[in-house]
A and B are shown apart, each in its own frame.
Chain A
């Protein structure tokens, strides 16, 4: 049964709830929905699942953008209520007719709602009777995203064969329905039936060839996955090329790059090491953010726009832009959204994410009134810009220094674990972070937990010597989780403030290695799990992050597993304006970009400038 139906404004005032249903909801599904779904630009999705102790709800929603209303229906997840979408749209229609911004109490809507609900339930009942045809279809279309396709094709083939009998049943049922709750909604009922008849016919038709379609879709999907998986290793060989003698911009000239010869086997007794000091880390430098000329952007915009509008004629579009269009609908937004999506994808945003973002922007604009003297494209652009800023604005505080000091007060070292796929620059950026922390007068210790790749410990040791900080190592072939544990104990003993744990790179699909990582994180409970990802990555970013998060959750033995807390974006200097990876990663993981690595020297560590990223993305 429906648990609750709410109507509220975007400002947050509840205008109407169904008192009849009146069941107290467990937990706060509505607030959670808004916080973790609607405000995260995921409102393009079909439904949202909420879990609380003792309750599992599914929530569906719809917006009325012109009036700024939100309609949310809550029901138990085990009941797959089919009429909810329909009911919501009916409620939306009826309620918007009586809505008045000044009014806050709508008791008279109770009666209307009762009728609407009865109607919807009756229709659902019928659907159930002719179920083989109707159910899989609606299921697939509307809820397919959530309920991992429940063997749709099989049901459908059944459905086609049974459809003849089903229809007969349906009419019978309808008659009965008419008799039973006949009196008060007579006319509407028949109307609805008429409608339904039509629907049924078409649906059975669709059902007939849908099986093929589904198979096609499936094979397509399979292909897609293949290509995605292939892309991963392809990107790899690129970066070996960059490993050359590099002239560092602001490093002392006498610094010798090759530290390997004097070190020998146990290289701790080196003669002298130049303590690396290359000035202030870029994390601390104020970035001067040049506001580029907006006009240029605009002009380009006009050029792009004129194409789809050309058909309508210059005059009518001009008139529209002056007078303001009544209500935006999907077809108006389509061309502008498509252009925007292409632009995002050109900037290396993963396709899935560009798609989802556009959908959610469309959902937020549909039905809105276009202000006078604006073009659709500029409205869409503004909405997208707002959405992007919202996504990239960190949800949690990214003030690591503050957290370090808080940990210091508790006399505990602050532990950061660097994770990521192979060759993205974990160790290099670990050294940069260490350098930055050192500049803030914190004592740092490194833990070499990459016990897998040969040379990894030596690499870290070199960094440690250059920065003159202690390193904890136990050689190779040891369990990294144990090494990390000992390192943290050691740090607690000698009073280090921060422990930076380097781990071996691993592909997101490699289960044994992911299990080891999950164990390391579970055992040591670090304060920060930092995902290191390269900015060069395109569609694979989605795969990497979602799989890392998922594997950490699935393979963990603890009931509430740790996920990725933050992102370190590397190789940011190599991508010019293709900054899409930042958006993809943040959107997928929901965690902020904490550092950006942008060069080869220790100082090349920056904060993410949200404004400039958004500007670049929409350029």
Chain B
């Protein structure tokens, strides 16, 4: 207890000393210092706000094995290196697109996130969606039919996410692997997916209302579903990650992340 008392008196002494010092400093200087402090604070907050409003995040999503990681590295380095395996963690990077590196001027870097497609890792998608400026949904055009239902289910989930609907985040459906001869055309894939989503809509909304967590419904009830009915813009494009034919994806990114 005695030592505690000692500490207390010591502290009081220091406090008094500090007060005296402050009184010695002229008032003007004190105010100036305060003003500088407040200004920096405001500046920092402003920077934060500005950064948040101009999102430059592009999210790559889609089922496992559809080629998201290859697309990611094509965008970044312009090559798929030595191939990829199933991702266990998201790939993230802020970079200037490879195709624009040669250009003059200073293009704005894009923040690209490649979210693993494995169903156990899907919760990760929710972390990135709120800040997304655009979503690229990759579909395997080669092995489309066996995966059609799963892919449509996933796309349905993405399209009905609250953050996507509210912010009207544009979605690009990329039919990957079109370099192969047996790959399906993008028109075929679009139609199949629309059909499948139409069925999903029936089973998830008309029959069970409170069953599913998402409260948003897609399209116009009573009409056959088509992507044009979505509030956000949904477009379909073709690409080939392996050969580097990704101009349509790059175009999409540039539309939504202004250079």
Contacts of B203 in A (CB 8 A): 399, 401-402, 404-405
Interface flags, A77-113, vs B, CB<8A=1, else 0 = 0000000000000000000000000001100000000
A194 at the interface (CB under 8 A from B): no
Residues of B within 8 A of A618 (CB): none
Contact of B65 among A31, A39, A391, A393 (CB under 8 A): A31
* A177 close to B (CB within 8 Å): no
Contact partners of B119 in chain A: CB under 8 A: 393-396
Interface residues of B in 183-206 (CB under 8 A from A): 199-200, 202-204
Does A179 touch B at the CB level, under 8 Å? no
Are B114 and A11 in contact, CB atoms less than 8 angstroms apart?
yes
Distance between Cα atoms of A406 and B200 in the complex (Å):
10
Name which of B31-39, B51-59, B84-92, B220-228 contacts chain A.
B84-92
Contact, CB under 8 Å: A11 / B210: no
A35 close to B118 (CB less than 8 A)? yes
Most chain-B Cβ atoms within 10 A of its Cβ — which of A10, A12, A285, A399?
Answer: A12
Q: Does A366 contact B (CB under 8 A)?
A: no
Which residue of chain B lies nearest to A392 when distances are taken between CB atoms in the complex?
B120
Question: B12 on the interface (CB 8 Å rule)?
Answer: no
Within 8 A of B (CB), among A369-396: 389-391, 393-396
Q: Contact at A12–B86, with CB atoms within 8 Å? A: yes
Residues 8 to 43 of chain A near chain B (Cβ within 8 Å): 8, 10-17, 30-31, 34-35, 38-40
A136 CB → nearest B CB, Å: 34
Flag if B199 contacts A397 (CB, 8 Å).
no
* Closest chain A CB from B61 CB (angstroms): 14
Contacts of B211 in A (CB 8 A): 283-284, 401
Q: Which single member of B85, B210, B212 contacts A31 (CB below 8 Å)?
A: B85
Q: A284-B211, A399-B204, A402-B200 are in contact. Are A14 and B122 (CB under 8 A)?
A: no
Q: Does B20 contact A (CB under 8 A)?
A: no
Chain B residues within 8 Å of A16, by CB: 82
- State the interface size on chain B (CB cutoff 8 A): 37
Q: How far is the CA of A105 from the CA of B82 in the complex (A)?
A: 8
Q: Is A307 an interface residue (CB 8 A)?
A: no
* Contact assessment for B121 and A390 in the assembled complex, using a CB-CB cutoff below 8 Å: yes
A154 on interface, CB distance cutoff 8 Å: no
Please indicate the chain A residues that have their CB under 8 angstroms from the CB of B73 in the complex: 13, 104
Looking at the complex, which one of B83, B88, B150 makes contact with A34 (CB distance below 8 Å)? Answer: B88
Q: Are B208 and A401 in contact, CB atoms less than 8 angstroms apart? A: yes
CB–CB A393/B122 < 8 A = yes
Decide: B123 and A393 in contact? CB cutoff 8 A: yes
A8 near B85 with CB under 8 A, answer yes
Complex CA distance for A478 and B211, rounded to whole angstroms: 39
**Distance (whole angstroms) from the CB of A442 to the closest CB of chain B:** 8
- For residue A8, which residues in chain B have a CB less than 8 angstroms away from its CB? 84-85
A440 interfacial by beta-carbon distance below 8 Å: yes
Q: Decide if B25 is an interface residue (CB 8 Å cutoff).
A: no
Contact present for A11 and B91 (CB under 8 Å) = yes
Q: Specify the chain B residue showing the minimal Cβ separation from A395.
A: B119
The reply to whether the CB of B180 lies closer than 8 angstroms to some CB of chain A is no
Known: A12-B69, A13-B91, A39-B118. A105 touches B81 (CB 8 A): yes
For the complex formed, measure the closest distance between the CB of A421 and the CB atoms of chain B, giving whole angstroms.
28
Q: How far is the CA of A441 from the CA of B207 in the complex (A)?
A: 8
Distance of B204 from chain A, by nearest CB (Å): 7
Query: Is B153 close to A, CB under 8 A?
Result: yes
B179 within 8 A of A: no
Question: Which B residues lie within 8 Å of A409 (CB)?
Answer: 199
Q: Does A268 contact B (CB under 8 A)?
A: no
Contact A285 B210, beta carbon cutoff 8 Å: yes
Interface residue tally on A, bucketed by range: 35 or more
A286 at the A/B interface (Cβ < 8 Å)? yes
Q: Is A6 in contact with chain B by the CB < 8 A criterion? A: yes
* Interchain CB contact under 8 A, B88 and A12: yes
The reply on B241 being an interface residue by CB < 8 A is: no
Is A12 touching B123 in the complex (CB atoms < 8 A)?
Answer: no
Q: Name the residue among A11, A284, A286, A441 with the largest chain B CB count within 10 angstroms.
A: A11
Residue of A nearest to B153 (CB): A397
A31 CA / B123 CA spacing, docked (Å): 20
How far is B160's CA from A240's CA once the two chains are assembled, in angstroms? 46
Interface check A68, CB cutoff 8 A:
yes
Q: Which partner residue on chain A sits nearest B213 by CB separation?
A: A286
CB distance from B143 to the nearest CB of A (A): 13
CB distance A10 to B87 under 8 Å? yes
Interface centre among A6, A13, A15, A406 (most CB of B within 10 A): A13
User: In the complex, A104→B212 CA distance in Å?
Assistant: 43
Closest-by-CB residue of A relative to B68 is: A12
Answer yes or no: B245 CB below 8 A from chain A CBs: no
Q: Cβ of B121 and Cβ of A39 under 8 Å apart?
A: yes
Could you tell me the distance in whole angstroms from the C-beta of A239 to the nearest C-beta in chain B? 30
**Nearest chain B residue, comparing its CB with the CB of A442:** B207
Contact between B207 and A401, CB atoms less than 8 A apart: yes
Interface residues of B in 85-107 (CB under 8 A from A): 85-91
CA distance A46 to B145 in the complex (A): 36
Q: Which B residue sits closest to A63, measured CB to CB?
A: B88
Asked if A104 contacts B210 (CB within 8 A), the reply is no
* Distance (whole angstroms) from the CB of A52 to the closest CB of chain B: 16
A12 with B91: CB separation less than 8 A: yes
Residues of the B chain whose Cβ atoms lie less than 8 Å from the Cβ of A406: 199
Chain B residues positioned under 8 Å from A441 (CB to CB):
207
Inside 8 A of A283's CB, which chain B residues have their CB? 211
Chain A residues within 8 Å of B82, by CB: 14-17, 105
Judged by a CB distance under 8 angstroms, whether B209 is at the interface is yes
B residues 121-171 near A (Cβ < 8 Å) are: 121-123, 150, 153
Chain A interfacial positions (CB closer than 8 Å to B):
6, 8, 10-17, 30-31, 34-35, 38-40, 68, 70, 104-105, 283-286, 389-391, 393-397, 399, 401-402, 404-406, 409, 440-441
- Ordered by A's residue number, 16 sampled pairs between the chains whose C-beta atoms are within 8 Å are A10-B87, A10-B89, A11-B91, A11-B114, A12-B84, A13-B91, A15-B82, A31-B85, A34-B85, A105-B81, A284-B211, A393-B119, A395-B120, A397-B153, A402-B200, A440-B208
10 closest A-B pairs (Cβ-Cβ)? A12-B87, A11-B91, A402-B203, A34-B86, A10-B89, A12-B69, A390-B120, A10-B88, A14-B82, A284-B210
A sample of 10 more A-B contacts (CB under 8 A), given A31-B85, A285-B210, A404-B203, is A12-B86, A34-B85, A39-B88, A70-B88, A105-B81, A393-B123, A401-B204, A402-B200, A402-B203, A409-B199
